[in-house]
Amino acid sequence: MRVGYEPVSAISGETERSVDGCVVPVRWRTGGSGGTDAASALRLTGDEQHQMGLHCGSLFADVTHPIRGCAAGLQATRIRIPAAGTENDDRNPPRIAVRNAMNLSIGQDAILRHEKQTVGVRVDVVNLMNSDALYNFLSTFSGTHFVSPRSITGRFDIHFRFFSPDCLDAI
C-alpha cells in the first residue's frame, strides 16, 4: 500500500490485493485544488458551469443557460464550494470533489506450457463502477479533465524463450 502527499494539498493512495491470479488495484484521491468560489462560479460560461455540475436548488446550469445569480444557495456536484464567507485559501479552499475509482484485473500467466513457450490471458476493467467524476478543473496548462469512462480490455500473451538458462553457464 502506498500513500503520497502531493504539493496541491491532495492525498492519494493505492493498494492492491491478489488472490489466485486476480489483482484488484484500488486508487483513491482526495479533492485536489482547482475549484472555484461561488462569486467566480457565477462568472463562468454555461459550459464551464455545466462541467462542474453547478446548480441553484434544482436548477442546473447547461451550455445555453448559465446561472448568473442564486438566492437558494449555490452548489456543485463535482466541486466542493465553501459556504459564503468561509473560504480561506489555506484552511478551507475550493476543491475538486472526492472521487474513488476501482480497476479490476483478472488473469493467469501460464495457462498452457509447452517446452519453451507459455500462454497467458488477462482481462482488465478500468473504472469498474463507471463513476462520473471531475479530475481537473480549469487548469492553466491542461484544462478540464474527467475520469475516463469504464473500459474493458482483454490480452492474450504468448511468451517464447529462445535459449535455456543453462546455455548462459557455457558462456
pLDDT in tens, 132-145: 887 777 777 777 87
Q: Are 80 and 133 in contact (CB under 8 A)?
A: no
Is the model's pLDDT at 43 over the cut of 80? yes
Coil vs helix vs strand at 41:
helix
Q: Which three cell numbers stand for residue 139?
A: 487548469
- Give the pLDDT of residue 5: 33
**Mean local confidence (pLDDT), 103-110:** 84
Taking the CB of residue 32, how many other CB atoms lie within 10 A of it?
21
- pLDDT of 44 above 60: yes
Map out the domains of the chain as residue ranges.
36-93
Left, alpha or beta for 69 (phi > 0: left; psi -120 to 50: alpha)? beta
Q: How confident is the model at residue 163 (pLDDT cuts 50, 70, 90)?
A: low
What pLDDT, on a 0 to 100 scale, did the predictor assign at position 146? Answer: 82
Instruction: Give the integer Cα–Cα distance in Å for 2 and 115.
Output: 38
Residue-wise pLDDT tens digits, 65-102: 999 988 878 888 888 888 777 777 777 777 777 777 78
pTM for the model stands at 0.59
